[in-house]
Protein backbone atom coordinates (compact mmCIF):
# COMPACT_ATOMS: atom_id res chain seq x y z
CA UNK A 1 0.00 0.00 0.00
CA UNK A 2 1.42 3.44 -0.86
CA UNK A 3 2.16 5.99 1.85
CA UNK A 4 2.27 9.74 2.15
CA UNK A 5 3.78 11.92 4.80
CA UNK A 6 1.89 14.97 5.89
CA UNK A 7 1.03 17.02 8.93
CA UNK A 8 -2.32 15.85 10.24
CA UNK A 9 -4.11 17.84 12.90
CA UNK A 10 -0.85 19.37 14.02
CA UNK A 11 1.31 16.25 14.14
CA UNK A 12 3.59 14.65 11.56
CA UNK A 13 2.00 11.52 10.15
CA UNK A 14 2.81 8.76 7.73
CA UNK A 15 -0.40 7.48 6.23
CA UNK A 16 -1.10 4.32 4.24
CA UNK A 17 -3.76 4.76 1.61
CA UNK A 18 -5.55 2.84 -1.07
CA UNK A 19 -4.44 4.27 -4.43
CA UNK A 20 -8.04 4.94 -5.51
CA UNK A 21 -9.03 6.64 -2.25
CA UNK A 22 -9.83 10.29 -2.05
CA UNK A 23 -8.56 12.20 0.95
CA UNK A 24 -12.10 11.94 2.35
CA UNK A 25 -11.94 8.13 2.19
CA UNK A 26 -8.49 7.98 3.73
CA UNK A 27 -9.54 10.21 6.61
CA UNK A 28 -12.76 8.35 7.30
CA UNK A 29 -11.91 4.73 6.55
CA UNK A 30 -8.13 4.64 6.90
CA UNK A 31 -7.76 6.91 9.91
CA UNK A 32 -11.21 6.75 11.55
CA UNK A 33 -11.49 10.54 11.42
CA UNK A 34 -15.20 10.28 10.78
CA UNK A 35 -16.02 13.87 11.65
CA UNK A 36 -15.45 14.69 7.99
CA UNK A 37 -18.69 13.80 6.21
CA UNK A 38 -19.60 12.84 2.69
CA UNK A 39 -22.60 14.58 1.21
CA UNK A 40 -22.63 14.99 -2.55
CA UNK A 41 -19.22 13.52 -3.32
CA UNK A 42 -18.97 16.03 -6.16
CA UNK A 43 -17.48 19.16 -4.65
CA UNK A 44 -20.79 20.96 -4.26
CA UNK A 45 -21.97 20.70 -0.67
CA UNK A 46 -18.95 21.29 1.58
CA UNK A 47 -19.83 18.52 4.06
CA UNK A 48 -16.34 17.11 3.51
CA UNK A 49 -14.49 20.38 4.13
CA UNK A 50 -11.04 20.16 5.67
CA UNK A 51 -8.27 22.74 5.84
CA UNK A 52 -5.34 22.06 3.55
CA UNK A 53 -2.43 24.42 4.14
CA UNK A 54 -4.81 26.70 5.99
CA UNK A 55 -7.52 26.93 3.34
CA UNK A 56 -10.86 25.11 3.08
CA UNK A 57 -10.87 22.26 0.59
CA UNK A 58 -13.43 19.67 -0.44
CA UNK A 59 -11.73 16.43 0.56
CA UNK A 60 -14.03 14.47 -1.77
CA UNK A 61 -12.21 16.06 -4.70
CA UNK A 62 -8.66 15.55 -3.46
CA UNK A 63 -6.84 12.33 -4.38
CA UNK A 64 -5.02 11.24 -1.24
CA UNK A 65 -1.60 11.48 -2.86
CA UNK A 66 -2.17 15.20 -3.48
CA UNK A 67 -2.10 15.79 0.27
CA UNK A 68 1.51 14.65 0.54
CA UNK A 69 3.57 17.21 2.41
CA UNK A 70 0.50 19.29 3.23
CA UNK A 71 -0.83 20.55 6.53
CA UNK A 72 -4.26 18.92 6.82
CA UNK A 73 -6.67 19.79 9.59
CA UNK A 74 -9.98 18.04 10.11
CA UNK A 75 -12.91 19.02 12.27
CA UNK A 76 -11.50 16.85 15.06
CA UNK A 77 -8.72 19.41 15.55
CA UNK A 78 -10.98 22.46 15.63
CA UNK A 79 -11.47 23.78 19.19
CA UNK A 80 -14.93 23.09 20.60
CA UNK A 81 -15.17 26.82 21.23
CA UNK A 82 -15.68 27.26 17.46
CA UNK A 83 -18.85 25.19 17.62
CA UNK A 84 -20.40 26.95 20.60
CA UNK A 85 -21.63 30.16 18.91
CA UNK A 86 -22.97 28.10 16.02
CA UNK A 87 -25.00 26.01 18.44
CA UNK A 88 -26.25 29.09 20.23
CA UNK A 89 -27.32 30.81 17.01
CA UNK A 90 -29.37 27.91 15.69
CA UNK A 91 -26.87 27.02 12.96
CA UNK A 92 -27.42 23.30 13.46
CA UNK A 93 -30.54 21.30 12.80
CA UNK A 94 -29.98 17.89 11.20
CA UNK A 95 -26.23 18.40 11.58
CA UNK A 96 -25.22 17.00 8.19
CA UNK A 97 -23.49 20.20 7.18
CA UNK A 98 -22.19 21.08 10.62
CA UNK A 99 -18.64 19.63 10.51
CA UNK A 100 -17.93 21.45 7.27
CA UNK A 101 -19.47 24.65 8.60
CA UNK A 102 -17.32 24.40 11.74
CA UNK A 103 -14.15 23.98 9.66
CA UNK A 104 -14.96 26.93 7.42
CA UNK A 105 -15.96 29.02 10.42
CA UNK A 106 -12.59 28.24 12.02
CA UNK A 107 -10.88 29.38 8.81
CA UNK A 108 -12.82 32.66 8.76
CA UNK A 109 -12.08 33.27 12.44
CA UNK A 110 -8.38 32.60 11.85
CA UNK A 111 -8.37 35.08 8.99
CA UNK A 112 -10.64 37.93 10.16
CA UNK A 113 -9.12 40.28 7.58
CA UNK A 114 -11.16 38.36 4.98
CA UNK A 115 -14.29 40.17 6.09
CA UNK A 116 -12.80 43.45 4.88
CA UNK A 117 -13.17 42.24 1.30
CA UNK A 118 -15.86 39.56 1.49
CA UNK A 119 -19.23 39.16 3.14
CA UNK A 120 -19.70 36.27 5.53
CA UNK A 121 -22.22 34.81 3.10
CA UNK A 122 -19.54 34.78 0.41
CA UNK A 123 -16.98 33.20 2.74
CA UNK A 124 -19.43 30.51 3.85
CA UNK A 125 -20.87 29.91 0.37
CA UNK A 126 -19.03 26.60 -0.05
CA UNK A 127 -21.07 25.01 2.73
CA UNK A 128 -24.61 24.16 1.72
CA UNK A 129 -27.29 23.66 4.35
CA UNK A 130 -30.75 22.29 3.62
CA UNK A 131 -32.20 23.14 7.01
CA UNK A 132 -31.32 26.48 8.52
CA UNK A 133 -31.82 29.06 5.80
CA UNK A 134 -28.25 30.17 6.58
CA UNK A 135 -29.16 33.02 8.95
CA UNK A 136 -28.17 30.97 12.00
CA UNK A 137 -24.89 29.97 10.38
CA UNK A 138 -23.98 33.53 9.47
CA UNK A 139 -25.01 34.78 12.92
CA UNK A 140 -22.93 32.07 14.59
CA UNK A 141 -19.81 32.90 12.61
CA UNK A 142 -20.34 36.60 13.32
CA UNK A 143 -20.73 35.88 17.03
CA UNK A 144 -17.47 33.95 16.93
CA UNK A 145 -15.72 36.86 15.23
CA UNK A 146 -17.15 39.24 17.83
CA UNK A 147 -15.92 36.99 20.65
CA UNK A 148 -12.45 36.89 19.08
CA UNK A 149 -12.38 40.67 18.68
CA UNK A 150 -13.45 41.07 22.30
CA UNK A 151 -10.76 38.73 23.52
CA UNK A 152 -8.18 40.71 21.54
CA UNK A 153 -9.46 43.86 23.23
CA UNK A 154 -10.80 45.24 19.97
CA UNK A 155 -14.31 46.57 19.58
CA UNK A 156 -16.49 44.02 17.77
Find the helix or strand (DSSP H, E) in which 100 lies. helix 98-110
Taking the complex as a whole, the smallest distance from the CB of residue 143 to ligand FES amounts, in Å, to 17
Report 49-68 residues binding ligand FES (CB under 6 A). Answer: 58, 60
Short-list 155, 135, 40, 96, CA closest to 124: 135
Nearer to ligand FES, 112 or 126 (CB): 126
Query: Is 119 strand, coil or helix?
Result: coil
String marking each residue 86-125 x if it binds ligand FES according to CB under 6 A: ------xxxxxx----------------------------
Task: Please give the Cα distance from 65 to 89 (Å, whole number).
Answer: 38
Contact status: 83 vs ligand FES (CB under 6 A): no
Task: Please give the Cα distance from 47 to 69 (Å, whole number).
Answer: 24
Q: Which residues bind ligand FES (CB under 6 A)?
A: 38-41, 43-48, 58, 60, 92-97, 129-132
Amino acid sequence: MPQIQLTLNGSPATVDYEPHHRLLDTLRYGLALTGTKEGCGEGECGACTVLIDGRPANSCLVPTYQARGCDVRTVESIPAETLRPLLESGATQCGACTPGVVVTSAWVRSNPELIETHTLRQLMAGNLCRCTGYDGIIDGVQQGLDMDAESRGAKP
